[in-house]
Amino acid sequence: MQPAVKVTNLTKKFARQVALDGVNLEIPQNSLYGLLGPNGAGKTTLFSIAAGFLKPTDGTIEVLGVDVSRISHLRGKLAMLPQDAAFQGSIPVLEQLIMFSRLNGLDQAAARSAAEKALEMVGLPEVAKKVKTSHAQRT
């Protein structure tokens, strides 16, 4: 079975700064992965290339066998959450996940099931009904 994500000899240079230097990585299908590292390690650069926001200096990233240079072929099969993404403060987490699933083409029941399963998979089912409150509302 082909990997879900395959990064091959990925290099990205910005002027004199090397952000990625020959990165190789394979992520199996049906797995959950996180990319961890210190600031400046190249995590955001790798994801920006995978999302098609940046072009690599050298190397490739394939998702489900499709080179991300043809990202439009992955529509509906690939989603990325940027590091600074934030949930809406007054809407429960579960409802937001359902909305994202609906935007991805699922009907209401399937979207709710997928959202609940996602929270279960990451060990956070208790946050389903939480909403973000401002500091003023908590005091």
The pLDDT tens digits along the chain (139 residues) read 889 899 999 999 998 899 999 999 999 988 878 888 888 899 989 988 888 888 999 999 998 898 988 877 777 776 666 666 666 777 888 888 888 788 767 899 999 999 898 888 888 888 778 776 554 444 4
User: Which tokens go with 82?
Assistant: 């940027």
Query: In this predicted structure, what is the pLDDT of residue 135?
Result: 45
* Under 8 Å between Cβ of 48 and 54: yes
What the block records as the tokens of 136 is 């003023």
Residue type, 17: Q
Q: Using one digit for the tens of pLDDT, what is the confidence trace for 18-44?
A: 999 999 999 998 887 888 888 889 998
Token reading at 139: 């005091």
According to the model, what pLDDT value does residue 109 have? 95
Closest CA to 56 of 67, 72, 66: 67
Distances (CA, A) of 28 to 10, 31, 33, 97: 18, 6, 9, 24
Instruction: Note the pLDDT of residue 87.
Output: 66
Q: What is the pLDDT of residue 90?
A: 79
The torsion defined by the Cα of 84, 22, 54 and 74, in degrees rounded to 10, comes to -90
At residue 19, the 3 state secondary structure works out as strand
pLDDT of residue 79: 67
User: Can you say how many angstroms the Cα of residue 17 is from the centroid of all Cα atoms in its chain?
Assistant: 25
- The structural domains of the chain, ordered by start, are 5-74 (3.40.50.300), 93-127 (no CATH)
